[in-house]
Amino acid sequence: MAGQTLYDKLWTQHLVTSRDDGSALIYIDRHLLHEVTSPQAFEGLRLAGRKPWRRDANLATPDHNVPTTLKERSAGNAGILDDVSRIQVETLDANCESFDIEEFRINDERQGIVHVVGPEQGATLPGMTVVCGDSHTATHGAFAALSHGIGTSEVEHVLATQCLIAQKMKNMQVRVEGQLGLGVTAKDIVLAVIGRIGTAGGTGYAIEFAGSALRDLSMEGRMTICNMAIEAGARVGLVAVDDTTIEYLRGRPYAPSAEQWPAAVDAWCELVSDDDAHFDKVVELDAAEIEPQVTWGTSPEMVVNVSATVPDPAEADDETVARGMTRALEYMGLEAGQKMTDIQLDKVFIGSCTNSRIEDLREAAKVAQGRKVADNIQLAMVVPGSGLVKRLAEAEGLDKIFVEAGFEWREPGCSMCLAMNADKLGAGERCASTSNRNFEGRQGYGGRTHLVSPAMAAAAAIEGRFVDVRDYDDASALTKSA
Amino acid sequence: MKKFERLNGLVAPLDRANVDTDLIIPKQFLKSIKRTGFGPNLFDELRYLDEGFPGQDASSRPLNPDFVLNQSRYQGAQVLLARRNFGCGSSREHAPWALDDFGFRVVIAPSFADIFYNNSFKNGILLITLDEATVERLFQETEANEGYRLDIDLEAQTITTPSGEVIAFEADPFRKHCLLEGLDDIGLTLEQSGAIRDFESRHRAAQPWLFRDA
Ligand code: SF4
């Protein structure tokens, strides 16, 4: 019998019942909640007179609507000026209270973007199933946890039954071997993967990211990669357990107690794909060939090397693709053949569940240190992923580096990743962003988003246009964090 | 959930690949804590010439005359014909809520994104996957014939065109059953409470660290 993939193992370990038609009931260990996709689920429970099946499996925090300026933030929920946003956050608070669910509220230091908070607390553990009403739940797969985004009806289903009706996915392995060049990061790996397989390339698959380049990454880097699996169409991204995983979790508040630790580690060490496991699809990349990436269009697959030019729709594979490219160029205000490094920017956003962890901020700070944000940049903001990331960054003096360089240092939340709060792009404004989606209007009505790594975003802020971060003469200091 | 058995509906074509859920319903409308009322903001950025806000009176907003759903011949459409990878991106269930609220009961495309696919079924919307060539042909027929309707029969898994051509489609048996009967997932799952509890106690014994209240 062929061996099992990591995904196969996780699936089997959580199978409650399976039906002949291929659908199954899988047990959910951790359910994360935020204010946007939960109110209708709680309402549904209430209407049906149901209660959460297991309260300790749930953990909630508001993130999408929270303001990031200190002045507003210090007023707590009352500081959320938009009434509709405030009601949504208050509704989460009220629901968590009435259903007895643990919540890190707006000014709790543990509050933050739900996908930063879970791992940081050790609430995401290897071998778990993790769900959240949010497509970037794939992030948690970096811990060899079977994690995916669900819709609001499923949020209600998980609350009520601790289970999810699911269908087994196919297995894909993305193997990245070799060493990344200096200045090239996890974000560039995942953008290169999406560029290769396309935004629907992973549909129906669980992607396991493997290879020596993955093993060399920190947990933060692995989370960045799994986070964007959904941008390749895959609901699930996974990385096998190794020492890096285990060391990251040691001592975290929700991690196993000292007593349970040895047994947990033993179990976690099994969470790797067997050598003879079968993958339905394998994609290989050479780490040494990956350059810093920049998206040019309105889909994450519209991505090129920073040294490249804006592609020409005339060279597209088929008509539907060509039309999509033409529309994207028009929306983005770009022309085929333009050099990426000639694109002038208006704003820079460093943050989001893709790139707002401590290592991301360190990478950006290394570039910003001793330099100044260019005059044409109206706003360059750094939004840490959680209150704890913020505190750690401040302890390391990163906030000062950013502020001295002309960046704004903000309070934690989703912020301009999707602009549900006050942080947004104006029509036609162009932004270098470390977030994960460059869809039309994502960062604000008519706004133009280019996705990049934190180091590339910081360099773009300094130069006022895209540059290859490797061109800085101190580039050797840019990759590895202390 | 809403039942779906059979529908004879007007078809509207949305000729665009990779339609993401941000485009189906932009984020400012996700602040609602209700499940209904999203219809006026379906495809908001394509449908109107101005920027939309929650709570606005949609009837006074300038419509984009070029957008297909604003054309008189497609008023009352219940079947949306779309291109590949429809519904990609964010997991927001507000996307199917908006489609449903607007009046769509069926979406036909060469492929759908996974989360959107699940979310739609939970709301009684039937998603039909057909090969690219067939979808292309339906686009041509829809555009060429005003008042083009399709007759969709879930039980038989067939689509019948106005000329009488019958196109078969695949349907996942469990989802088909739920749609035909209008079954509530949660109620169904809770019938298996015993199996869930058994699983839970085995799971707790094997990995006690997954349970914080142990
Ligand atoms: S940071 Fe962006 S992508 Fe991540 S959860 Fe928040 S809104 Fe979603």
Does the beta carbon of B173 lie under 8 angstroms from any beta carbon of chain A? yes
CB contact under 8 A, A156 and B26: no
Mean pLDDT of B56-79: 95
Instruction: Please write the tens of the pLDDT for every residue from A66-102.
Output: 999 999 999 999 999 999 999 999 999 999 999 999 9
Nearest CB neighbour to A260, from listed B23, B189, B209: B209
Mean pLDDT of A4-19: 96
Higher pLDDT, A58 or B187: A58
User: Which residues of B are less than 8 Å from A199 in CB distance?
Assistant: 18, 85, 88
Output the DSSP codes for A453-469: -HHHHHHHHHHSB---G
Dihedral angle computed from the Cα positions of residues A439, A441, A447 and A449, in that order, rounded to the nearest 10 degrees = -20
Confidence of residue A211 (pLDDT cuts 50, 70, 90): very high
Q: What integer pLDDT is reported at residue A388 of this predicted model?
A: 98
Lowest average pLDDT, out of A4-8, A233-237, A262-266, A419-423, goes to: A419-423
Q: What integer pLDDT is reported at residue B214 of this predicted model?
A: 53
HSE, side-chain direction, 13 A CA sphere, residue A86:
11
Nearest CB neighbour to B84, from listed A154, A200, A255: A200
Strand partners, A350: A382
Q: CA-to-CA distance for A444 and A426, rounded, in angstroms?
A: 6
Nearest CB neighbour to A165, from listed B114, B119, B189: B189
User: Which residues of B are less than 8 Å from A88 in CB distance?
Assistant: 31, 33
Name the minimum distance, in Å, from the CA of B194 to any CA of chain A.
Answer: 10
Mean pLDDT of A437-460: 97
Q: CA-to-CA distance for B45 and B126, rounded, in angstroms?
A: 25
Give the mutation target among A61, A65, A115, A443 for probing the ligand 1 site: most ligand atoms within 8 A of CB: A115
Residue A417, ligand 1, Cβ within 6 A: yes
Is the pLDDT assigned to residue B120 strictly greater than 90? yes
* Start-to-end CA span in chain A (Å): 45
User: Which residues of B are less than 8 Å from A267 in CB distance?
Assistant: 206-207
Shortest CA distance from A133: residue in chain B: B91
Does the beta carbon of B89 lie under 8 angstroms from any beta carbon of chain A? yes
Q: What integer pLDDT is reported at residue A481 of this predicted model?
A: 38
284-323 of A, contacting B, C-beta below 8 A: 299, 320-321, 323
Closest CA to B170 of A21, A280, A230, A235: A21
A vs B, Cβ pairs < 8 A, gives 191
Alpha carbon of A64 to ligand 1 centroid (Å): 7
Is the pLDDT assigned to residue A311 strictly greater than 50? yes
451-480 of A, contacting B, C-beta below 8 A: none
Is the pLDDT assigned to residue B213 strictly greater than 80? no
Alpha carbon of A417 to ligand 1 centroid (Å): 6
Is the pLDDT assigned to residue B110 strictly greater than 50? yes
**Tokens found for residue B124:** 């009684």
Name the minimum distance, in Å, from the CA of A124 to any CA of chain B.
Answer: 10
CB contact under 8 A, B207 and A267: yes
Instruction: Please write the tens of the pLDDT for every residue from A259-299.
Output: 999 999 999 999 999 999 999 999 999 999 999 999 999 99
Closest CA to A292 of A429, A459, A482: A459
Residue A64, ligand 1, Cβ within 6 A: yes
3 state DSSP class of B152: strand
Name the minimum distance, in Å, from the CA of B54 to any CA of chain A.
Answer: 8
Shortest CA distance from B93: residue in chain A: A151
Is the pLDDT assigned to residue A482 strictly greater than 70? no
CB contact under 8 A, B85 and A154: no
Closest CA to A408 of A455, A344, A350: A350
Closest CA to A416 of A441, A452, A389, A453: A441
Pairing of strands B149-153, B6-13: antiparallel
Rounded to 5°, angle at Cα A13 from A10 and A18 = 105
Q: CA-to-CA distance for B181 and B191, rounded, in angstroms?
A: 16
Amino acid at B101: D
Give the mutation target among A136, A150, A360, A434 for probing the ligand 1 site: most ligand atoms within 8 A of CB: A136
Output the DSSP codes for A339-352: BGGG-B-SEEEE-T
Strand partners, A433: A349, A451
Backbone angle region of A389, left / alpha / beta, with phi > 0 → left and psi within -120 to 50 → alpha: alpha
| Alpha-carbon separation of residue A315 from A295, A297, A298, A332 (angstroms) | 17, 15, 18, 19
Q: CA-to-CA distance for B187 and A76, rounded, in angstroms?
A: 38
Is the pLDDT assigned to residue A1 strictly greater than 80? no
Instruction: Please write the tens of the pLDDT for every residue from A378-397.
Output: 999 999 999 999 999 999 99
Q: CA-to-CA distance for A470 and A455, rounded, in angstroms?
A: 10
Closest CA to A299 of A190, A438, A430: A438
Q: CA-to-CA distance for A431 and A286, rounded, in angstroms?
A: 29
CB A433 within 8 A of CB A339: no
Q: What residues contact A357, with CB distance under 8 A and at least 6 apart?
A: A116, A220, A223, A385, A389
Alpha carbon of A461 to ligand 1 centroid (Å): 22
Q: CA-to-CA distance for A341 and A143, rounded, in angstroms?
A: 36
Is the pLDDT assigned to residue A355 strictly greater than 50? yes
CB A389 within 8 A of CB A356: yes
Is the pLDDT assigned to residue B184 strictly greater than 80? yes
Output the average pLDDT for chain A: 95
Pairing of strands A30-33, A58-60: parallel
Mean pLDDT of A218-230: 97
Confidence of residue A475 (pLDDT cuts 50, 70, 90): low
Where do the H-state alpha helices sit in B123-183?
132-144, 173-181
Outline where DSSP puts E strands in B33-156.
Answer: 79-81, 106-109, 126-129, 149-153
Closest CA to B2 of B187, B183, B156: B183
Residue with the nearest Cα to atom 6 of ligand 1? A414
